[in-house]
Structure 1
């Protein structure tokens, strides 16, 4: 039986092919979309995560301290968070293809500038452009996938492309460290510039635009509703990153973990994140986005509190780290699918605001975690993070009932 994809609603302004599944399986066009989207998010994630292990070498190149070099991440994040909602709203009105192609072209340019920046000032400017480029790509790809995926497979499709970003956390960053040792840090950014240019051309051929249509006005009422919806992601990010940012410090101070043991911990975490993300897509398609997003937030709170009780229990910590990431990223992916279903006519705007909430939550979580470990002790963090996740669950349940 051939499943015909419905024409995308005018608000989406994008389609790829009229058939995406045959007999319940992806056809060639659907596979191409998912593969290219996965590679794109893997590349973008690598661009973000690879900076941390490269900072010592970059700071030596420009004769600045590591804190100053860290502004590469700061200006990137601020630019991304500030500009993503603008690109999201533009994509809902004008279509996604042009902005995605533009963003990847700018990504190539910004990474080329990073690779050849003659001064520290040029380096920071290049990362501002990088943040701007990613803001016009990442949330729009999520929205585009939500547009074209069959209604009974949206969760699965979104989880597949999100796994590209998560995979870069535990493959892209270590690979970058290896390449730095072999070729130098400038080579890495130059390589990403070439990859960005190739992907820009690929996306131009991949997506086909549909006629743009006028959108319903974005009133204060539905703007407030969207802000309330993405606040769950903000709380989720605090609960996860207040602990994750200082995980290595906590394992070292509380368990006396060696560098290799800390690396193994991150590996368990990364594998759990990818598996949780992929599982959540299938579960949301089967049981519904509201049920799974609420349930996984509750399980995340339980996993974090359980981690608190086993934080000093030796090898048990690896299992709890795995379960933490499994439930945490299942919660993130299922909630993202929930937003895609909740705002079909403003999917680009919703995905963009959700990513802004994510970055804001990461920032708030890192500040909160730093305060806790300096004022109290690292072993308290899992319990506090679990309490925040529980608050996120309560908020999610309230919003789902208000929505009904």
Structure 2
């Protein structure tokens, strides 16, 4: 049983590492793709945009149908489509076909990432669910500081198309590996009433993630530009700063799993949001203080992603029958938050410059905490109401 658990976690980690690499590696490759197809950088950026939009809109569908039909089939389908879409990216004869390939890639990742989270939540021992989820989340986050730089290095020696060749090959291998790894999960007793009050409760729950994402990405999207503007960082210093952030994110996710299993999902998810707000204020104060910025970026990511992982575990516990669709909506909420955060950051920079960004993020963290607390109180009221009926 222990061996089977280790195999499941390893396969989940590797699969999410590949999904994260596909997400994070495109941005540093955009200049080379732009040159290859002779289009402007703004136009090339649509590769990222169409991927995110497709993912955000299709993930809830795959989560819903996997709750009814089982998850293994859709994860396998997603990986097959992932291999095909990356192959199309390699051989795309025009920029239009390149965009089509990224739409298909977004569709494929939407049927893989949230369902891996859900299936791990399904099979994990109840007293280890936080740890198991934190391990697979760390696979996705490791791609931020390991997968994307490796892809960039591969481009340097073999060209940008080689990155997608490698991802297509690994995706094809994982089709077989995932199909053999995941046993059929019992179908949920979920009924068509999901579109009633329960869906509204789910949307209320995942709104915490949307505001959390604003607290993380309003600054992160513009981090390189902010470090250059306020600290005159060189490209190597910016890369080092991002590495500190990435390592903090992975360690935060892993640490959160242990703490969640020990103290409970609700306590850790709320505590991390409070600490996140305080750390962001400190980050704002010390943003232009030289080497201290590395430390605060590390702590920011450590606490921030500890909160994300603990909240994933909390949702898995609170919605056992709708785990697939809840994880899917949570990922959609994440992408919505990233989009809104980037818009807020752009507005703030245009009007006030870079220094206010950490404080804007801190306000978002406080709002996320308040929403999280409201959710807990609502659950308690529902439980008390149920008890009175009985």
Q: TM-score band, normalised by the shorter chain? A: over 0.9
Distance in 2 (CA, whole Å) between partners of 1:268 and 1:178 is 19
How far apart are the structure 2 equivalents of 1:311 and 1:198?
Answer: 44
Q: How big is each residue's C-alpha offset from its partner over 1:206-228, in whole Å with a ceiling of 9 and x where there is no partner? A: 11215546423314111110000
Partner of 2:339: 363
Whole-Å Cα distance in 2 between the matches of residues 203 and 321 of structure 1? Answer: 35
Give the Cα separation in 2 of the matches to 1:383 and 1:215: 42
Q: Distance in 2 between matches of 1:302 and 1:309?
A: 11
Residue 39 (structure 1) aligns with: 14
1:331 aligned partner:
307
Q: Quote how far apart the aligned CAs of 1:168 are.
A: 0.3
**Equivalent of 1:312 in 255, 279, 288:** 288
Distance 1:374 1:309, change over 3 A: same
Deviations 1:237-293 (CA, angstroms, capped at 9, x unpaired): 011100000111111111111111111111111111011110000111000000000
Larger helix proportion of the pair: 2
Task: Identify if the C-alpha distance between structure 1 residues 115 and 396 changes in structure 2 by more than 3 Å, giving closer, same or farther.
Answer: same
Tell me, yes or no, if structure 1 residue 125 matches structure 2 residue 125: no
CA distance in 2, matches of 1:223, 1:232: 15
* 1:229 corresponds to 2:205: yes
Matched, 1:196 2:171: yes
Instruction: Please provide the CA RMSD for this pair.
Output: 0.9
1:2-81 equivalences under 5 Å are: 19=1, 27-81=2-56
| Stretch deviating more after TM superposition (139-148 or 388-397) | 388-397
Aligned CA distance change for structure 1 residues 63 and 294 (closer, same or farther; 3 Å)? same
Deviations 1:344-376 (A, max 9, x none): 000000000000000000000001101111111
Q: 1:141 is matched with which residue?
A: 116
Tell whether the 8 Å contact from 2:272 to 2:306 is kept in structure 1 after alignment: yes
Distance 1:214 1:153, change over 3 A: closer
- What does the per-residue CA deviation read over 1:143-166, in whole Å, with 9 as the maximum and x for residues that have no partner? 000000000000000000000000
Q: Structure 2: how far apart are the matches of 1:80 and 1:210?
A: 24
- 1:398 is matched with which residue: 363, 368, 374? 374
| 1:5-27 superposed Cα distances (whole Å, 9 cap, x missing partner) | xxxxxxxxxxxxxx3xxxxxxx1
Does residue 266 (structure 1) correspond to residue 266 (structure 2)? The answer is no
Asked if 1:294 is matched to 2:270, the reply is yes
Structure 1 counterpart SS, 2:288: coil
Match of 2:259 among 283, 307, 310: 283
State the alpha-carbon separation in 2 of the partners of residues 162 and 294 from structure 1: 19
Specify the SS of the correspondent of 2:126.
coil
Contact 2:188 2:322 in 1 (8 A): no
Q: 1:173 aligns with which of 126, 148, 152?
A: 148
Q: Give the match's secondary structure for 1:324.
A: helix
TM-score (norm 1): 0.93
Q: Once the two structures are superposed, what CA deviation does each residue of 1:372-396 show, in whole Å capped at 9, x if it has no partner?
A: 1111110110011111111111111
Which residue is 1:377 aligned to?
353
Which moves more between the two structures, 50-59 or 207-216? 207-216
Taking a change above 3 Å as real, the CA distance of residues 394 and 210 of structure 1, as seen in their structure-2 partners, is closer
* Alignment coverage as a number of residue pairs: 379
Once the two structures are superposed, the pairs formed by residues 78-93 of structure 1 within 5 Å of their partners are 78-93=53-68
What's 1:347 paired with? Answer: 323
Q: Which residue of 1 aligns with 2:227?
A: 251
Give the unaligned 5+ runs of structure 2: 381-390
| Structure 1, unaligned runs of 5 or more | 1-18, 20-26
Task: Indicate the SS of the match to 2:194.
Answer: coil
Moved over 6 A (4+): none
TM-score by length of 2: 0.96
Aligned to 2:388: none
